[in-house]
Amino acid sequence: MTQSTDENVIWLTQEAYDRLKAELDHLTGTVRAELARRIGEARDEGDLKENGGYHAAKEEQGKTEAQIRKLQDLLRRARVGATPPDDGVVEPGMKVTIRFQGDEDTETFVLGSRELLSLDESVDLEVYSPQSPLGLAISGKRKGDTATYAAPNGRAVTVEIVDAVPFGA
């Protein structure tokens, strides 16, 4: 995954892009056709005001169309790159563990796009954008390096890189 300062870019691995594209194809093909068939059948039953099947299908159609628009926008903004190398350098697509200065606890998160994690609901990690203050400060750093960034309240925060491995590795 390559870095960019363009905040609208969503960095995805080829695998993540392919899964999102497959979901979009399924929704725009099979799911749309099935919903249209269900709406047509319900419409043929007559009085639409009291037709629960019609209203349920229309509501599902609205949710499906919203998901289609979301996926189309995401894929339009996506930049596809390879999974980053397991070289310990912090970059988008890496699972990063940091320790805040003066604290023994560590925090692990993914540097990248939320969409990377939305593909696997079993993953319970925070996601930080590469363009966030923390993301910008730690990009290019290695295990043992420290980085300082300005928190939203203006205070300088220093973190140590404890580990950086490719997400999914």
Domain ranges of the chain: 10-81, 94-166
pLDDT of amino acid 142: 95
The model's pTM: 0.59
Structurally, what CATH architecture does the domain formed by 94-166 represent? Answer: Roll (3.10)
pLDDT above 90: residue 136: yes
Distance CA 18, CA 24 (A): 10
pLDDT tens-digit map of 58-78: 999 999 999 999 999 889 888
pLDDT of amino acid 1: 39
Q: Looking at domain 10-81, which of 3.30.300.30, 3.60.20.10, 1.10.287.180, 3.40.190.290 is its CATH number?
A: 1.10.287.180
- Give the three-class secondary structure for 156: strand
pLDDT tens-digit map of 25-67: 999 999 999 999 999 988 888 777 778 888 899 999 999 999 9
Distance CA 92, CA 70 (A): 22
